[in-house]
Structure 1
Amino acid sequence: MKDAYPLPLPDEVQDRLGGSTVSSTLDLNSGFWQLPIHPDDRQKTAFCLGPGLGLFEFCLMPFGPCGGPSSFQRLMDTVLRGLPFAMVYLDEVLVFSVDQKSHRLHLRQVFRRCKAAGLTLRGSKCRI
């Protein structure tokens, strides 16, 4: 489950925002839990609640494994590939534009990509 995929640095995020005047943050609903764990790696997440209570394994990425953030970043970079106005930082999608009109179009494109990937957003934590 280790993954050396790099996370963006705060300076990179600021550089990408550059000349934008409109931005939104979209919160992925329980972000990591939307990332399936490969069946061969599930045993690495095994835990027991106590004697006689059985052994459990995660099927979706829990918070905590060292490769979680990198694996999630890789997934989201793949989902958002080709959209220069969007990027992900941990479990937040940043959408940035030069004006309101283009921002509405950009948001629609990001929403379509998330839907096509089977990802859900938490509306109450999104800032549009």
Structure 2
Amino acid sequence: MKADIGWTIADIKGIGASVCTHNIYMEENCKPTRDPQRRLNLPMMEVVKKEVIKLLDHGIIYPISDSKWVSPVQVVPKKGGLTIVKNDKGEDVPQRVQSGWRVCIDYWKLNTATQKDHFPLPFIDQMLERLAGHFHFCFLDGYSGYNQIAIAPKDQEKTTFTCPFGTFAYRRMPFGFCNSPATFQRCMMALFHDMMENFMDDFSVHGNSFEECLAHLALV
């Protein structure tokens, strides 16, 4: 099964548009907005440049010259694990370690004008209760899960973002959309509801026997 595991973004095959497509439905009478790019220092510009090139190379974004909706890029710290440090009183306290930088789009204005999808996320305690009825488990983490789902062509221009290197739009669902979690959860439940539990991009494949668990894993 090693060949079926996605190790890099180049391994993403995506979910067919006939299975799941992300649509962006707007509230009535909303007015499109075009935000200017935000100022970035030189190190942050390099972070953005690297991300844009990566997404372009793999067809996740494409250049676009004009759009009614334009949102700005921002760079935020990427949080890693926890470490223990001393506070001013000499006490040991946990502190989150920064592991790098994350490029994201500020879709606040677009999200405000978007009709909300209220598809529910599962309750963790109920998921654990269902898992307790099985004896074998495999735990998976979805790699760039949102990027697996295509955006409806008519809505792609709404995803346009601006940065020092131009304006680009997404072909596949990015992080930052208000309805991305609902779309992703609905898709995963439709595909895998009878063979595993999933909460967003965390998957728990299960089976009453080792062979059944492996069979479910092979299907996933």
TM-score (norm 2): 0.44
1:25 aligned partner:
139
User: Which one has the largest radius of gyration?
Assistant: 2
Quick one: which of 111, 116, 120 aligns to 1:6? 120
Q: What is the number of residues matched between the two proteins?
A: 106
Asked whether 1:16 is paired with 2:130, we answer: yes
2:203 aligned partner:
93
Aligned-partner Cα distance in 2 for 1:86–1:17: 9
Aligned-partner Cα distance in 1 for 2:205–2:171: 30
Aligned-partner Cα distance in 1 for 2:210–2:202: 20
Deviation of 1:24 after TM superposition, in Å, equals: 0.8
Distance 1:43 1:12, change over 3 A: farther
2:216 aligned partner:
106
Deviation of 1:46 after TM superposition, in Å, equals: 1.4
Aligned-partner Cα distance in 2 for 1:27–1:86: 13
1:75 aligned partner:
187
1:43 maps to a residue whose letter is: E
SS at match of 1:57: strand
2:161 aligned partner:
47
2:171 maps to a residue whose letter is: C
Moved more, 62-71 or 15-24: 15-24
Structure 2 runs not aligned, ≥5 long: 1-23, 25-115
Compute the RMSD of aligned alpha carbons: 1.7
2:138 maps to a residue whose letter is: S
Identical counterparts, % of pairs: 35
Higher helix share: 1
Quick one: which of 168, 193, 196 aligns to 1:56? 168
Aligned-partner Cα distance in 2 for 1:54–1:109: 41
Aligned-partner Cα distance in 2 for 1:106–1:76: 14
Aligned-partner Cα distance in 1 for 2:188–2:144: 14
Aligned-partner Cα distance in 2 for 1:56–1:26: 31
Aligned-partner Cα distance in 2 for 1:76–1:37: 16
Deviation of 1:55 after TM superposition, in Å, equals: 2.1
Aligned-partner Cα distance in 1 for 2:167–2:215: 47
Aligned-partner Cα distance in 2 for 1:101–1:78: 23
Aligned-partner Cα distance in 1 for 2:158–2:129: 37
Deviation of 1:11 after TM superposition, in Å, equals: 1.6
Q: Deviations over 1:30-88 (max 9, x none)?
A: 110001111222233211113xx43211111111111111111111112114x2x3122
Moved more, 13-22 or 57-66: 13-22
2:10 aligned partner:
none
1:35 aligned partner:
149
Aligned-partner Cα distance in 2 for 1:41–1:13: 34
Aligned-partner Cα distance in 2 for 1:15–1:33: 30
Deviation of 1:20 after TM superposition, in Å, equals: 1.4
